[in-house]
Amino acid sequence: MSWKDTAEPVLTRMPSVRRPERHVPFKRKLGWTAGVLVLYFFLTNVFLFGLARGQGADIFGQFRSVIAGGQGTLMHLGIGPIVTASIVLQLLGGADLLGLDTQENPRDQILYQGLQKVLVLVMCVLTGLPMVFAGNFLPASQAVADSLGVGTFGVNVLMFAQVFAGGILILYMDEVISKWGVGSGIGLFIIAGVSQSLMGGLISIPQLPGNTIGVIPGYIMMALGLGDLSFQGIDTLLFGIAGGAQGASVAGLIAIATTIFIFVVVVYAESVRVEIPLSHARVKGARGRFPVKLIYASVLPMILVRALQANVQFLGQILNSQMAIPTWLGEYAQGQAVGGLFYYLRPIQSPGDWMWWLGTSQEPWQIMIRIGVDLTFMVIGGAIFAIFWVETTDMGPEATAKQIQNSGMQIPGFRQNPGVLEKVLERYIPQVTVIGGALVGLLAVMANMLGTIGGVSGTGLLLTVSITYKIYEEIAEEQLMEMHPMMRQMFG
C-alpha cells in the first residue's frame, strides 16, 4: 500500500467548507468577504483569557504585517501555520516526494487539500506550544490562576487551547473567502493589517509619550509651532523626526517617498506584460490575449520567504529562552539577536538597523554582512519560491497550455495542440517568473532599509499593493461575468 492509500481515510474526512453548487452572485461574494473581514477584525481584538496583559514580548515583532495576526489575541498565530504548511508542501512537491497529480486527478486534489489541513493543525501545535509554555512570550496571569485554582500550568493549557482554536478559525475563514468570496483570505487579512498600520501612520494622534504621531497631524503641528516636534539635523529630517519631552516621532521624508514609490512601482510592474494573441478555434472572430506579467507569480511567494525568516528567528528566540546557546550562534538583548549567526540571518526592518553612524552597537562590517545576507536571501529565495509557486498553482507552461486548450482557444498560425502551446509559453513564463521573483525581493529589502509610513515592512507594503490590484482585477472580471453570462460559460 502507498502512503496515499494509508492516509486517504483520514485526509478525505477532514472538515471542509462546501463548495457552491452554482455560480455565486457578485453581491453575495462581497457579503461573504465583508462578513469574514469584520469577524477577523473582531478576533484580533479579543485577547486571550488568562494572559498577563502588558507583559511578554511579541515573538514575531515586525513580521506581524506578513503574519497578519494580533499579539496576545485569538489571532496570535495569524496565517503563520498556513504559510509554513504551504512551504513544506511546496518543498515536498518540488522534490516530487508526494506523487500527487493535482492538475488532472480529482482524488489527488482531495488528498492534497486534506494533507494541507493536517499540516496546518501540526504547525498550530508546533508553533503554539513553545509560545505558551516556553519563554516569556505569552505569560500567564497569576490572578487568573489563583481565581480558577488550576495553577499557572492550567492557565497555560487554557491559553494554548485558545491559540489553537484561533489557528483553526483563520484556516476556515480563508477557505470561506476562497470558495464563497472575492480573492483569498490570506491576502485579505494581510491587506487589513497593513492598511490599519498605514492609516495609523498617516492620521494617528498619540495618547501616550513615546508613541508615533501620524504624518499629517505631525507636520501640521510643526508648521503651526505646536508641540515640541522639531528638526534635529539632516538624519531626522530624512529618516524620522524625533520629538522632545513628549518623546513622539513622525515619519521622515524618505519614508513618505518610499511608500509612494512602492505603490507606483508595483502598479506599473503589474501592467508590464507580454501578451500572447489567442483566437477561438470554433467561434469566428472571437479573439483574446494571454498576459504573461512581469510579476507573473505575484508577490505572494514573498510571504513564504518572510515566513521562513520569521520561523528561523522564532527558533533562535526559543533556544535562547531555554538554554545558554554559544555566542557564535546568537547573542540576545531585549529578545532580539544582536550577535552571532541568528543576528546575520535577521532581516533588515528599518533604517535604524543599518545606519551605524547613529550609534548602533554593531560594527559597520557586521551590518554590511547582515545586509548582504538579507539581500541574497530575499532575491534568490524570491526567485526559487516564485518557481515553486508557479508549478504548484498550475501556472506553469504545461498546465497553462492545457487550460488554454480546454477553453477552445489557440495561438493564430499554430496547430491546436497543447504541446505547441507549451513550447511557446516556455519562451516567456520561466524567465519572467525568475526575474519577477528576484525583483520583488529586491524591492522588499529596499523598502525596509528606507522605511515606510506607519512602520509597515517593505514586504507587507508590496503584498498590500499587489493583492489589492489583484482583487480589483477580480472584481472587474466578476462584474463583466455578471453583465455577460455567456463569457462565464466560455471561460469556465
> Domain spanning 1-14+25-181 has what CATH number?
1.10.3370.10
Q: How high is the pLDDT of residue 490?
A: 47
Residue ranges, comma separated, of all CATH 1.10.3370.10 domains in the chain are 1-14+25-181, 255-492
467-480: burial string, b at 16+ Cβ within 10 Å, e else? bbbbbeeebeebee
pTM of the entire structure?
0.78
User: Given this model, what pLDDT does residue 310 score?
Assistant: 83
Indicate the helix (H) or strand (E) that contains 278.
strand 273-280
Which of the residue ranges 166-170, 230-234, 272-276, 459-463 has the most confident prediction, judged by mean pLDDT?
A: 166-170
255-492 belongs to CATH 1.10.3720.10: no
Poorest-pLDDT segment among 63-72, 154-163, 268-277, 384-393: 63-72
* Contact indicator for 186, 193 with CB cutoff of 8 Å: no
Residue 234: what pLDDT?
53
247, pLDDT greater than 50: no
The 3-state DSSP class for residue 366 equals helix
**Full DSSP string of 23-85:** PPPHHHHHHHHHHHHHHHHHHTT-BPTTB-TT-S--SSGGGHHHHT--TTBTTSSTTHHHHHH
pLDDT score, position 42: 92
Dihedral angle sign, alpha carbons of residues 133, 136, 137, 140: positive
- Which position has the higher pLDDT, 358 or 397? 397
Please give the pLDDT value at position 237. 58
